Amino acid sequence: MRKYMSVTVIIMVCTLILSATIFRGNTLACIFVAMMGVIILFFSVFETKNVAAEKIVLIALLSSVSAIGRILFSSIPSVQPSSFIIMVTGIVFGGEVGFLTGAITALASNLVLGQGPWTVWQMFCWGIMGLLSGLLKRPLTKSKWIFCFYGLLWGFVFGWIMNGWYLVSSNVTGFNVKIMIAACVTSFPMDLAHGVSNLVLILWMGNDFIKMFHRISVKYGLRSSP
């Protein structure tokens, strides 16, 4: 996993260099390229591995449940059960499974909710959410309050990253701090709703889901018993 993170950092650095040369300061377009690179990296690495059938079925199942949760609650603005499922998936099954589950969730749910360039941003957001949940497993499982704060914070981080899509769609060629701040202020109620819904689900069902996922991981040999 550290190797993947190192490659991810290299991709980000290379795109920043491109932003200053070929893209001529178009930072947001460069970020879009970086996101695509990270997503392709994880799917390519997974494709080249000799993965057990149980793991493939697990990712498909978790992604389906997460996508259905998003579709069912799509009428309630920014309430995203998907985020909760992706975070728990990363914690129990590891960052790689968390990333793939998050990315596939966005791709699958948008088959119903609508595909577009924003799908790449959503795949990246939920993918990184699952990845970091796996990397931060110890503190997140050690304290429920740390997990709650983490879930609340991701409601805002997700919204801030998606605001980048707003800037791109508005034909902003460079990173404009004032426009970004205005976008974040405008999206604050939605981001707060996302964060609070994560917080409520963690308090209500966090421990139960972690225990249930642990039983599945042990039963099918996907993770050793803690």
User: Which pLDDT score, from 0 to 100, does residue 159 have?
Assistant: 92
The residue among 14, 48, 28 whose CA lies nearest residue 120 is: 28
Sequence-separated contacts (24+) of 49-57 with Cβ below 8 Å: 52/221, 52/222, 54/220, 54/221, 54/222, 55/97, 55/222
| Cα 206 from Cα 211, distance rounded (Å) | 9
197-214, pLDDT tens digit by residue?
999 999 999 899 999 998
- Token reading at 96: 């790689």
Does any domain span residue 193? yes
Helix ranges, the chain (H): 2-20, 27-48, 53-72, 81-93, 95-113, 118-135, 137-142, 144-169, 177-186, 188-219
C-alpha dihedral sign at 139, 141, 147, 151:
positive
User: Which pLDDT score, from 0 to 100, does residue 224 have?
Assistant: 42
CB 203 within 8 A of CB 148: yes
Does any domain span residue 202? yes
User: Which pLDDT score, from 0 to 100, does residue 226 have?
Assistant: 43
How many structural domains are present in the chain?
Answer: 1
Does any domain span residue 96? yes
Q: What is the CATH number of the domain that holds 185?
A: 1.10.1760.20
- Token reading at 40: 């392709």
Does any domain span residue 80? yes
pLDDT digit string (tens) for the chain, length 226 residues: 555 556 556 666 666 566 556 555 556 666 676 777 777 777 776 766 777 777 888 888 899 999 998 998 888 888 889 999 999 999 999 888 999 999 999 999 998 888 877 888 899 999 999 999 999 999 999 999 999 999 999 999 999 988 877 777 665 555 567 778 888 898 999 999 999 999 999 999 989 999 999 888 887 776 544 4
Does any domain span residue 160? yes
User: Which pLDDT score, from 0 to 100, does residue 53 have?
Assistant: 76
User: Which pLDDT score, from 0 to 100, does residue 179 have?
Assistant: 78
- Token reading at 150: 């983490």
Does any domain span residue 6? no
CB 176 within 8 A of CB 167: yes
Does any domain span residue 48? no
Supply the range of the domain harboring residue 121. 56-219
User: Which pLDDT score, from 0 to 100, does residue 225 have?
Assistant: 40
143-175, pLDDT tens digit by residue?
999 999 999 999 999 999 888 777 776 655 555
Does any domain span residue 74? yes
Indicate the length of the chain as a whole number: 226
User: Which pLDDT score, from 0 to 100, does residue 183 have?
Assistant: 83
